[in-house]
Amino acid sequence: MFALTERPDAHGQPMTRESEDNPAARSDGVEASASLDPSVHRTLADASRSAGDELGALAHLIAAHTLDAYASGSPDARVAGLCDVATGYFMKGDHELAARWYELVLTLDPDVAVACQNLAAIHASEGRAALADVYRERAYRIQRVFVEETAGSTRSVLILCAARSTGNVPFEALLPGTRNRRIKYAIDYAADDEDTRLPAFDVVFNAIGDPDIAAPLGARLARFESRCARPWLNSSAAIARTSRHLLPALLDGLDDVSSAPCVRYEAPSASLGTLLTDHAITFPLLARPVAAHGGDGLVLCDTIDTLENRLSTQEGAQYLTAFRDCRSADGFYRKYRVIYVDREPFPYHLVVSPHWIAHYFSADMESHAWKLDEELRFLQDPLTALGERAMNAVTAIGQRLDLDYGGIDFTLLPDGQVFVFEANATMLAHYERGNGVLAHKNPHVQHIVDAFEHMLTRRTSS
């Protein structure tokens, strides 16, 4: 799924002081946001202003004017201002109020796709998957093409996205709106003849970076690609090769590079043991759902019984991967991430974790200065941090992947080899808060963004 706005992070702006101190007032305000009575909104506008909540006052005044226009049958009746109100709360992280305003928008005009998109995002973030699916389906039945542009944009980028699921390359930092007119195309909902009616564009960025998400769209993407005369970033063929179970074969033959054997398990089978043996997978092993990232659904299975119990409770295909204990000599697990732009490696982060599932948040990186110092040394001088042998291996992996944008998560083994956990196009690169403890990462993120911009310039200059 993708939305016209970025999802708010955990550092959204606070609610008004009155709402914090008086939950009942907050509840009444949320409920009243859905009112179709303009006078109710004018009353709430006055109350909000008295409480010092200028945003709330403006929101209710916009609602009152919008409802007046619809009630009078005015030809100028529009919900755009009301939708902006909802999006303002959405960006602040106030999902409860945002949802109410979006629902009011859809009551007046049921065909506002962005309202459906962001309601889907809100419900998904709250764990209401079924309701999120309803709004997501509704959004992309209404609209498949979304154009974002600013006065300063000088390039038009067509971004191919899969709207039915996650798995798109995070591109907010890579394609800043100040430079790029972003044309988002939900191609999985679009008929072939819609391709000919797209706005003009200079380059295509295939953001359907998860090979498991891209696979069912293979024929559709191939037809589009064969008819496209513009430069294309991240070919479907290159993305398909990055499936977890294909990775060992993809990297085979590279000096100082290894990865764990992996098999894709499609359906219950009496020959599970034979399947594992045929692919040289022994216990313990890792089981995870296909198209899953960030450790979602990842479990460690020590025995065949544990694995069979796991598989019996899961729907859909699973990846089964041999587990390798990659602890460093000090007892910590290290996961390096390198981003490739036009096949050139750029360091992005290092996680130092006491647990084999090494994630930045669970490793509590921000609380340990020595971990951040080690990460900074890697970011500033990856050659010294990894050594020439490993750096050469990392560079060779980028050439073998042949992605215009992608990345790898890996660690260093005691024998000096680069052990690759995963390699694909969906790797996230984003800025940190400028005044936060992770601000040291931002210059290195900027190197990635600058390299991506230079690649776009080269590809579109001919």
368-388 residue pLDDT tens? 999 999 999 999 999 999 999
Residue 10: pLDDT over 80: no
Residues 142-157 have a mean pLDDT of: 92
Indicate yes or no: pTM above 0.75: yes
pLDDT band with cut points at 50, 70 and 90 for residue 30: low
Residue 115: pLDDT over 70: yes
Q: What is the largest CA-CA distance in the chain?
A: 77
Residue 59 one-letter amino acid: A
Residues 222-229 have a mean pLDDT of: 94
Give the per-residue pLDDT at 20.
39
Residues 415-437 have a mean pLDDT of: 94
pLDDT band with cut points at 50, 70 and 90 for residue 164: confident
Whether residue 249 contacts residue 243, with contact meaning beta carbons closer than 8 Å, is answered with no
- For 52-111, the pLDDT digits (tens) are 999 899 999 999 999 999 999 999 999 999 999 999 999 899 999 999 999 999 999 999
How does the average pLDDT of the chain come out, rounded? 90
Give the per-residue pLDDT at 270.
62
- For 401-424, the pLDDT digits (tens) are 999 999 999 999 999 999 999 999
Give the per-residue pLDDT at 35.
87
Higher pLDDT, 402 or 28: 402
Residue 327: pLDDT over 80: yes
What is the phi-psi region of residue 454: left when phi exceeds 0, alpha when psi lies from -120 to 50, beta otherwise? alpha
Q: How far apart are CA 301 and CA 311, in angstroms?
A: 11
Q: In the 3-class helix/strand/coil scheme, how is the chain assigned residue by residue?
A: CCCCCCCCCCCCCCCCHHHHHCHHHHHHHHHHCCCCCHHHHHHHHHHHHHCCCHHHHHHHHHHHHHHHHHHCCCCCCCCHHHHHHHHHHHHHCCHHHHHHHHHHHHHHCCCCHHHHHHHHHHHHHCCCHHHHHHHHHHHHHHCCEEEECCCCCCEEEEEEECCCCCCECCCCCCCCCCCEEEEEEECCCCCHHHHHHCCCCCEEEECECCHHHHHHHHHHHHHHHHHCCCCEECCHHHHHCCCHHHHHHHHCCCCCEEECCEEEECCCCCCHHHHHHHCCCCCCEEEEECCCCCCCCCEEECCHHHHHHHHHCCCCCEEEEECCCCCCCCCCEEEEEEEEECCEEEEEEEEEECCCCCCCCCCCHHHCHHHHHHHHHHHHCHHHHHCHHHHHHHHHHHHHHCCCEEEEEEEECCCCCEEEEEEECCCCCCCCCCCCCCHHHHHHHHHHHHHHHHHHHHHHCC
Report angle CA 32, 38, 39 to the nearest 5 degrees: 85
- For 333-369, the pLDDT digits (tens) are 999 999 999 999 999 999 999 999 998 888 999 999 9
Q: 265-269, 278-282, 343-347, 427-431: lowest mean pLDDT where?
A: 265-269
